[in-house]
C-alpha cells in the first residue's frame, strides 16, 4: 500500500485498484474532522482502509466522504466504505444522490460500458438516504483548523459532477473534469466518454481557472503543480479534439480516421499514445471511448443544424 503526504494536512492513497498502481487515487484531508475525497470502486475499499490506518486516521474521525461524481471508479466503493466509518456522510451532486441510494441502474450501465472491468471494480452497495449530503455549487464544508472544502459544479464529463476547492493548499480535486494526468510525461489525456458535453466542460474549466488555485489533485492520478497551465491546456485540447471531430463528421470520416487526425495534431499526447494503445483495455476505455464522446457530440450537432 502506497500513501504519501502531498500537502498541508493532505495525504494521497494509491488504491492500487485491481493491482494497478497510479490508476485511482483517494485523498485524505485532516482538520479537526477528517475528510476523504474519492473512494474508488468497491474492490479496493480494503486498500483504502489500510491506507487510512497508515496515515493515522481512526474510522470514527471521518466526518465526510466527498465524491466528485457517481461513476463507479470514483464512488462505487462509498457504500462499502461507510459501513466502516460510523460518523461519516457522503457528499454528492444532487443528480448523483439517487444512484447512491439505489445503484441498480448505475451498475447495469457500468456493466454495459465497462464489461468485465465492472466486475473487477465490484458492485456498489446501496447507501441509506440519511447518510447522504447533497452539495450544490459553492457549498462550503468546514473541517476545523481553518480547513475547508468548497464544492464547484463542473458538469460536462458527467451531469452529476462536482470538483472541490481546498483553500489551505490552494488545490482543486477535479475528479474527471480536468482529464487524466500522466505525471511521468506531465501530460493530460481527455476523459470524455459519451454522453460528453464539451461546451459545458469548457464552462466548468473556466470556473476552475478563475479560482485562486496552484495545484491539482487528480483522481487519475496524483498531484500536478501549475494548475492554471494544466487547466488551460486541457481546455485547448478539448477545443482541438472537438474541431477535428466536427470536421471529421462533416466529411463522413470514420472513427479510425478521426482518431488518426487527433493523434497527428495533438502533440501533447504523443509520448503517452504508445502506452495507451498497446493494451486492449486502455485502447478501448481510454482512447476509443473518449474520442467517441466527441464524435457523438459532433453527430448530434449535425442533426441540429
Residues at the interface with Zn ion (CB under 5 A): 71, 176
Q: How far is the CB of 24 from Zn ion (least distance, A)?
A: 11
Q: Which residue is nearest to Zn ion, using beta carbons?
A: 71
Q: In terms of CB distance, is 143 or 287 closer to Zn ion? A: 287
Note the Cα 253 to chain centre separation in Å.
30
Q: In terms of CB distance, is 52 or 221 closer to Zn ion? A: 221
Q: In terms of CB distance, is 3 or 297 closer to Zn ion? A: 297
Q: In terms of CB distance, is 177 or 298 closer to Zn ion? A: 177
Q: How far is the CB of 152 from Zn ion (least distance, A)?
A: 16
Q: How far is the CB of 72 from Zn ion (least distance, A)?
A: 9
3-state secondary structure the chain: CEEEEEECCEEEEECCHHHCCCCCEEEEEECCCEEEECCCCHHHHHHHHHHHHHCCCCHHHEEEEECCCCCHHHHCCHHHHHCCCCCCEEEECHHHHHHHHCCHHHHHHHHHHHCHHHHHHCCCCCCCHHHEEECCCCCEEEEECCEEEEEEECCCCCCCCEEEEECCCCEEECCCCCCEEECCCCEEECCCCCCCCHHHHHHHHHHHHHCCCCEEEECCCEEEECHHHHHHHHHHHHHHHHHHHHHHHHCCCCHHHHHHHHHHHCHHHCCCHHHHHHCHHHHHHHHHHHHHHHHHHHHHHHHHC
Q: In terms of CB distance, is 16 or 176 closer to Zn ion? A: 176
d(CA 136, CA 127): 19
Q: In terms of CB distance, is 3 or 290 closer to Zn ion? A: 290
Q: How far is the CB of 185 from Zn ion (least distance, A)?
A: 21
Q: How far is the CB of 87 from Zn ion (least distance, A)?
A: 28
Q: In terms of CB distance, is 178 or 246 closer to Zn ion? A: 178
Amino acid at each position: 500500500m502506497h500513501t504519501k503526504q502531498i500537502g498541508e494536512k493532505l495525504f494521497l492513497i494509491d488504491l492500487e485498484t485491481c493491482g494497478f498502481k497510479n490508476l485511482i487515487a483517494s485523498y485524505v484531508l485532516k482538520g479537526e474532522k477528517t475528510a476523504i475525497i474519492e473512494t474508488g470502486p468497491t474492490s479496493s475499499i480494503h486498500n483504502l482502509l489500510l491506507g487510512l490506518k497508515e496515515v493515522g486516521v481512526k474510522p470514527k474521525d471521518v466526518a465526510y466522504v466527498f465524491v466528485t461524481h457517481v461513476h463507479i471508479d470514483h464512488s462505487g466503493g462509498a457504500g462499502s466504505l461507510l459501513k466502516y466509518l460510523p460518523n461519516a456522510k457522503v457528499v454528492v451532486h444532487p443528480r448523483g444522490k439517487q444512484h447512491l441510494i439505489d445503484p441498480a441502474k448505475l451498475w447495469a450501465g457500468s456493466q454495459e460500458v465497462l464489461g468485465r472491468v465492472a466486475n473487477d471494480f465490484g458492485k456498489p452497495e446501496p447507501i441509506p438516504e440519511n447518510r447522504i449530503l447533497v452539495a450544490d455549487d459553492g457549498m462550503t464544508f468546514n473541517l476545523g483548523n481553518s480547513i475547508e472544502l468548497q464544492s464547484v459544479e463542473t458538469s460536462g464529463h458527467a451531469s452529476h459532477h462536482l470538483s472541490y476547492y481546498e483553500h489551505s493548499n490552494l488545490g482543486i480535486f477535479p475528479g474527471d473534469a480536468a482529464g487524466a494526468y500522466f505525471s511521468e510525461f506531465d501530460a493530460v489525456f481527455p476523459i470524455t466518454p459519451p454522453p460528453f458535453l464539451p461546451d459545458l466542460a469548457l464552462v466548468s474549466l473556466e470556473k476552475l481557472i478563475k479560482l485562486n488555485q496552484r495545484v491539482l489533485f487528480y483522481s487519475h492520478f496524483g498531484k500536478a503543480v501549475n494548475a492554471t497551465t494544466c487547466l488551460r491546456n486541457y481546455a485547448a485540447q478539448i477545443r482541438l479534439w472537438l474541431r477535428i471531430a466536427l470536421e471529421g463528421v462533416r466529411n463522413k470520416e470514420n472513427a479510425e480516421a478521426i482518431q488518426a487526425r487527433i493523434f497527428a495534431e495533438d502533440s501533447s499526447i504523443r509520448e503517452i499514445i504508445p502506452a495507451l494503445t498497446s493494451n486492449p483495455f486502455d485502447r478501448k476505455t481510454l482512447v476509443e471511448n473518449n474520442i467517441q464522446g466527441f464524435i457523438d457530440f459532433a453527430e448530434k450537432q449535425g442533426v441540429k443544424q
